Amino acid sequence: MSEGACYHTAGMTVSLTVLPDNRELQVPAGATILKAAQAAGIDITATCGGRGRCTSCRVKFLRGTVPPATIMDELQLGADLVREGYRLSCQCRVTEPVAVQVAPPLDERAFQMLGADRSIRDVARVVIGAGIAKQVVKVPLPREEHHQTSDLEELLGVIGRTTDDIAPAILRELPLTLRDGGGEVTVTTFGRQVLAVEKGDTALMKFGLAVDVGTTSVVSTLIELESGEQLASVASLNPQAVFGGDLMSRIAFAQFNPVNLRKLQTRIIGLLNQHVEEIVRQSGVLAKWIYKVVVVGNTCMHHILLGIDPSYVGLAPYAPVMRHSLVLPARELFLKVNPEARVCLLPIVAGFVGADAVAVALATRIYESSEVRIAVDIGTNGEVLLGSKAHLWACSAPAGPALEGAQIRHGMRGALGAIDRVRIGDEVEIHTIGEVAPLGICGSGIIDLLAGMLDQGIIDHSGLIRLEDRDRLAPRLRERVVMRGEERQFILVRPGEAGATGEIVLTQEDIRQVQLAKGAIASGVAMLQHVAGIPSEQIAELMLAGGFGNYMSIESALRIGLVPTLPAGKIRYVGNAASLGAQLCLVSEAERQRADRIARGIEHVSLAAHPAFQDLFVDCMNFPRRA
């Protein structure tokens, strides 16, 4: 909004609606939202005093024209949030009726993917011991010229070490650090390695980052390393997706030209650095206080992150380039935490059973179970684990991105406005995340929808929309089953329903995508049972893991045959287990060592190579004939 526009409207009042209070105010046209709201007694925090120097007074425009972003908006909020309608309320003026939400979460996108409500101590008996030690010491400075010594020798003497494992980057600052603080410094170590020497006492500042790099989604979680407390987390789409939605297309892209591999690597590292920035903003923790990072991901993501050519991961026999766990300094990955922070990559099992599967095994404690359990990690490249403390089998379950809402006509991630619950009786009932107007449908909603469509006979067990039989449906359902052009569709939401501005449909092709996804998972489970010789009756528990596990209806999952037919009581959600496994290794070195042992113990079952697989997969694509 230009200054000119303000003068035109001076002297008039306009309507300003402020959420979540939902109060409608009449405010002087041209006033800033911050001042207008505060004048009416609405409490908007403005830490910097309304000078555009922080983000605390941010609002999100829900109705009315979003004013053009000021330079302060761009600087403080960044391009993404600005695009999503975020503004600093101290910077923008009211000239027409608008509605704004006060202090919306800075990363709304992380809303539901995460399991951000779980603390690592809640989900696992874990003894905290991250391996990061901080010592506050007073170092005597060299005083006499004849006394042969150096700054470093004096420092090592005081902390009782003789290590040479100190990077030149730390030595660069050492003389000033020692002298600035009068010799009082905090020394951070990880094993034999000196990670940082900081002026003064910073003993309380000890943080780590757990990162789960999925094919479609990337989740980063900040953890305080003494308590294991989760301080912030950010999730977003993997930006590599523009180069291919699934692993095979990304491998092909990487293979095409060596520059492409670099592009993929740069994308993911760039995203992780955005996550760090966002986490720093959310938590107030400085990036330099992040001394340990644990990364899990499938083999291909792992290789690309390291810049390793993944070509042969995509070709039989799908051999990874390396499988061992790796520790390297953050600077080598250009990760903008403490440059000397140790980035720990968990070990890999096979070309398509990666460090994420190892993390799931760790988090679900399946490796110590006396009975046989199954863990299913649902994702674009899911994995299935089956076994007990006696033996563990694993296979990949390449579901594709449909259950994450991608490659679905009106699919979306589990974010604000996504339909996450559907019930079909005589009419369709929907629920959206945040209970706002629906924008699209996410994985748990799709599964509910398909279960309801099966129950009502809208689709048959082969997945076909029964357009021809729609007359048997309740009248208000009947109108939703349509043929448009060559395409069968089910109209979930019409424009205007539940405040929707557009139509939301599920197409025949969407259903096929979901069938491919659930077929991959179900056949993976069945194959492991087959190879291990474990019938369903002997399965003590099936643990569902993945970004949306917490929001999925077990009944619906059973109804569509996503999981094998087990009593509902034997099926349990375990959250984003890959991320939790990374968090365990972040707070506990013992867990990280355990990950190595687990990885070596897992037996990889190759589905494609197995003669029985193809038939099984086709069977699993179909839906069960009855609930």
Q: What's the min distance (Å) between Cβ of 55 and a copy of itself?
A: 30
Under rule CB under 8 A, residue 239 binds a copy of itself: no
**Type and span of the H or E element at 169:** helix 168-180
Query: Among residues 4, 20, 160, 168, which is the contact residue for a copy of itself, using CB under 8 A?
Result: 168
DSSP conformation letters of 27-72 = EETT-BHHHHHHHTT-----TTSSSSSSSTTEEEEEESPPPPPPHH
DSSP state of 99: E
Under rule CB under 8 A, residue 64 binds a copy of itself: no
Residues numbered 605-624 forming contacts with a copy of itself, rule: CB under 8 A: 606, 608-609
- Within 13 Å of residue 580, how many CA atoms lie on the same side as its CB? 29
Under rule CB under 8 A, residue 143 binds a copy of itself: yes
Under rule CB under 8 A, residue 144 binds a copy of itself: yes
DSSP state of 141: P
Interacting span for a copy of itself (CB under 8 A) from 18-26, 52-60, 136-144, 400-408:
136-144
Q: What's the min distance (Å) between Cβ of 201 and a copy of itself?
A: 22
Under rule CB under 8 A, residue 312 binds a copy of itself: yes
Under rule CB under 8 A, residue 567 binds a copy of itself: no
Under rule CB under 8 A, residue 176 binds a copy of itself: yes
What phi and psi, each to the nearest 5 degrees, are found at residue 238? -70, 115
Under rule CB under 8 A, residue 88 binds a copy of itself: no
Under rule CB under 8 A, residue 316 binds a copy of itself: yes
Three-state SS for 369-410 is CCCCEEEEECCCCEEEEEECCCCEEEEEECCCCHHHCCCCCC
What is the rounded distance in angstroms from the CA atom of residue 549 to the CA atom of residue 556? 12
Closest among 33, 30, 1 to 16, alpha carbons compared:
33
Under rule CB under 8 A, residue 332 binds a copy of itself: yes
User: Any idea which residue has 């007073």 for tokens?
Assistant: 138
Work out the end-to-end distance of the chain between its first and last CA atoms, rounded to an integer number of angstroms.
Answer: 57
Query: Among residues 3, 43, 145, 486, which is the contact residue for a copy of itself, using CB under 8 A?
Result: 145
Query: Among residues 174, 196, 403, 584, which is the contact residue for a copy of itself, using CB under 8 A?
Result: 174
Q: Which is nearer to a copy of itself, 11 or 258 (CB)?
A: 258
What is the rounded distance in angstroms from the CA atom of residue 404 to the CA atom of residue 412? 7
Under rule CB under 8 A, residue 147 binds a copy of itself: yes
DSSP state of 350: B
Question: How many chain residues are in contact with a copy of itself, going by CB under 8 A?
Answer: 49
Closest among 540, 511, 173 to 371, alpha carbons compared:
540
Under rule CB under 8 A, residue 142 binds a copy of itself: yes
Interacting span for a copy of itself (CB under 8 A) from 45-53, 312-320, 362-370, 520-528:
312-320
Under rule CB under 8 A, residue 589 binds a copy of itself: no
Q: Which residues bind a copy of itself (CB under 8 A)?
A: 141-153, 164, 168-169, 171-176, 179, 306-309, 311-312, 316-324, 326, 328, 332, 348-350, 603-604, 606, 608-609
